Amino acid sequence: MKLFWVQNLVLEPNLILIQAFFKKWQSETAQLHGADREARKAGIVDFNNELAAIREKIVNPMEIVKCDTESLDSILNDLADLVSDDLSNDLTPQSPDWSFTFSSLRNQFLAELHQCQLLI
């Protein structure tokens, strides 16, 4: 019974949100990297606001059904650190490994979300 609730009310409606979030920020972070300091700061705020929406719409409801969301939270924290560190730095160009790391964290998040769904 719980799986039906999680699948139909939490995951399905938000899969587009998750995919759009990752797609948007993978490209937007690269664009913001060349922007002025204020635009980068605004980008960090926007990223964190969208990340908070994912926590609210997806991760928090998973806790309600007794899913251990510690690894989901950890991955989202790593994403926040990755984007904030990248956009906070004035002097260094975006690391060539940044895109790979971002993609890896996206894949880890989706895998953990799927694993959490299977355990319910």
Q: Is residue 3 part of a domain?
A: no
Q: Is residue 82 part of a domain?
A: yes
pTM: 0.84
**Mean pLDDT of the residues in the chain:** 84
Contacts of 59 (CB under 8 A, 6+ apart): 69, 72, 73, 76
Asked whether 78 and 51 are in contact (CB, 8 A), the reply is no
* Minimum mean pLDDT range among 53-57, 66-70, 71-75, 109-113: 66-70
Q: Is residue 49 part of a domain?
A: yes
Share of the chain above pLDDT 70, in %: 82
Residue 72's domain spans which residues? 15-119
Asked whether 99 and 52 are in contact (CB, 8 A), the reply is no
Q: Is residue 69 part of a domain?
A: yes
Q: Is residue 9 part of a domain?
A: no
Q: Is residue 4 part of a domain?
A: no
Domain count, the chain: 1
